[in-house]
Amino acid sequence: MISINDLVTARFRSTGLDPAESDPLWEADALQESQLLDSRVCQLTSTAALLFELRTSLQFEAGNAALLVVRGLHSFGWNSPTARGPLTALTVVSSAPDRLNDSFRARFAFYPDAQLEVAGDLADFYVLEVEGIGDVPPDYSDGDLKRVQGALPSWSSACSPLQASRSR
């Protein structure tokens, strides 16, 4: 077991892991219907990390969480309205990876209305099995943030990497 945060900060050796069954580093809409849970940007290491909920995903049979780590970060752009409604998941409507010269870039659109674009030298993608979060994502409708967060993967969650992919 390793923590999700450890996958971000250490260059995890993905040898021996199966390739990602659906690969958002190469395939458009591979993360469709998954949910963005959190993102982190570390200026000191030029790294951005995106944590996803996979229990709602259309493309993944294995795993309940995913992590996309962009290293050698060039840009990270988030756009959403300032007025937020009730507590709700940010669901991926579309995802589009592409190459800019020798760099990796990914663009995401979410429901409700939000967009994210991230670019860097390379990217790693991991499909994870997080312990202790159950088989079904939490119900956001009662607005209890602490309860919802307790049923979701987090940076400190212990996990087993199941599948991996690298942008180059």
**Model confidence pLDDT, tens digit, residues 8-33:** 998 766 667 889 989 999 999 999 99
Upstream peptide bond of 138 is cis (omega within 30 degrees of 0)? no
Beta pairing, strands 35-42 & 18-19 = unpaired
- Residue 15: its pLDDT value, please? 67
Cα gap 108→120, rounded to integer Å: 15
Question: For the segment 87-116, what is each residue's pLDDT rounded down to a tens digit?
Answer: 888 999 999 999 878 899 999 999 999 999
Q: What percent of the chain has pLDDT over 70?
A: 97
107 burial class (0-12, 13-18, 19+ CB within 10 angstroms)?
middle
Question: For the segment 108-158, what is each residue's pLDDT rounded down to a tens digit?
Answer: 999 999 999 999 999 999 999 999 998 999 999 888 899 999 999 999 999
- Residue 157: its pLDDT value, please? 96
Could you give the number of structural domains in the chain? Answer: 1
- Residue 11: its pLDDT value, please? 72
Question: For the segment 125-139, what is each residue's pLDDT rounded down to a tens digit?
Answer: 999 999 999 899 999
pLDDT > 70? residue 63: yes
DSSP 65-134: EEEEEEEEEEEEEEE--SS--SS--EEEEEEEEEEETTEEEEEEEEETTEEEEEEEEEEEEEEEEETTS-
pTM of the model: 0.94
What are the residues facing 130 on neighbouring strands?
A: 159
- Residue 80: its pLDDT value, please? 92
Mean model confidence pLDDT for the chain: 92
Please give the residue range of the domain that contains residue 65: 2-166
